Amino acid sequence: MGFTRAELESFRDTEVPDLLPGDDQPLRLLFVGINPGLWTAATQTHFAHPGNRFYPALLRAGILTRPVDQAAGMSEDNREELRRRGIGITNVVARATARADELTSQELREGGQRLRELVSRLRPRVVAVAGVTAYRTAFGERGARAGEQPAPWGTSRVFVVPNPSGLNAHETVDSLATAYAAAARAAGVLGVA
């Protein structure tokens, strides 16, 4: 599946619904992106850009058991595997942009408040926010570093994990998998080793 630039631009400001387990399934691990990209909005699949390493990292970490072709749009079986394992996906800011740097600090702060309200209501064991720079802005934590944060949000442990975007050249699928596995172990999604 491919899109022209004009087709992708038509998805600007589109929102992508959260992917969450049903009411009868516990939410163990909530991954949080900065905001949907245009490819994500076009496919209605979080972290969908072909160069994004989110799903390859989840597979490498053992969080997923089979590959996801996110660029084509996640299948219902893929979505169900995440739900069944107690994994959800949301974003700090709901509107789609071509790049996260198109968001304002105000949007990030408002999105951070919305996220805290969602976490308060759903009470996941672990929240894993992808992207330390956006985390610092959204939550007013200028000194935040990657890894588990010192203060939980209610009963939820909070991790800042690397952004899986292909634009984040400092990370590899292996380094992303290591960070995501740490959050997944804390959430009880992966066995404690």
pLDDT digits 0-9 by tens, 45-74: 999 999 899 999 999 999 998 999 888 888
Domain membership of residue 33 (yes or no) is yes
Residue at 193 is within a domain: no
Domain count, the chain: 1
Enter the tokens of residue 124: 């996941």
Contact between residue 31 and residue 89 where contact means Cβ atoms under 8 Å apart? yes
Whole-angstrom Cα distance, residue 46 to residue 193?
29
What integer pLDDT is reported at residue 129 of this predicted model? Answer: 97
Residue 192 lies in a domain: no
Asked if residue 192 has pLDDT above 70, the reply is no
Residue at token pair 């990209």: 37
Domain containing 108 equals: 5-187
Residue with tokens 């058991």: 65
Whole-model pTM above 0.85? yes
pLDDT over 80 at 167, yes or no: no
User: What Rg value do the Cα atoms of the chain yield, rounded?
Assistant: 15
Question: How far is 44 from 21, CA to CA, in rounded Å?
Answer: 17
Asked if the structure places residue 39 within a domain, the reply is yes
Q: Mind listing the pLDDT tens digit for each residue in 15-45?
A: 999 999 988 889 999 999 999 999 999 999 9
In the three-class reduction of DSSP (H, G, I as helix; E, B as strand; rest coil), residue 99 is classed as coil
Two tokens, residue 80: 């169900």
CATH number for the domain including 62? Answer: 3.40.470.10
